[in-house]
Amino acid sequence: MDILIEDVSARNSRPATPRSEPISFIQRLAASENFKVLFREGMGLVEEAATYLDGPGREQSKVLRRPVALAYATESMRLTTRMMQVASWLLLRRAVNEGAMTPAQATTEKHRVRLARQEIACGADMFAELPQRLRELSERSLRLQARIIHLDQSITDWNNPPALAASVIAGQVERVRLAFAGGR
């Protein structure tokens, strides 16, 4: 069996270019083609929900019995609120990605989009009586919202790392530094 051995000495002899900061995979994800797909998906769902609620949903809600109609009104308001939050967050992230806003500006109180994790407003039995299309839109919006909340939290965590001095590892790093510096 032949074994190919690559000469890596030339590659390893090049000096490493120091980086002042680690690579942010979450920042890259938020600015990647995957974000564009998420953006299109989210804005498409916003449009789908609005079209349904303004058209067929309005007609379907008129024939529901009173308790189900109340659940419909509540769930449609929550869906609308959820979609507005999702659209606002997506537009804010796109502004950051396109350079119209800095990440720091996006996290200020003035611009920050508060994403509130929501659940279905009514019980499972009542939810089952709602029109199928509303149920589908609500469930899809909840899954999309959960993905966006996760991404938002990851971005927030990246932008606000815990202080190194407060970490458990800091003491170990200091000991290693002192050992190599010749001190004890």
Q: Tell me which fold the domain 24-161 belongs to.
A: Helicase, Ruva Protein; domain 3 (1.10.8)
Q: 150-174: buried (b, 16+ CB within 10 Å) or exposed (e) per residue?
A: ebbebbeeeeeeeeeeeeeeeeeee
CA distance 126 to 53: 18
**Do the beta carbons of residue 88 and residue 113 sit within 8 Å?**
yes
Greatest mean pLDDT among 1-15, 119-133, 146-160: 119-133
CA distance 117 to 150: 10
For 66-100, write each residue's pLDDT tens digit. Answer: 999 999 999 999 999 999 999 999 999 898 888 88
Q: What is the pTM of this model?
A: 0.69
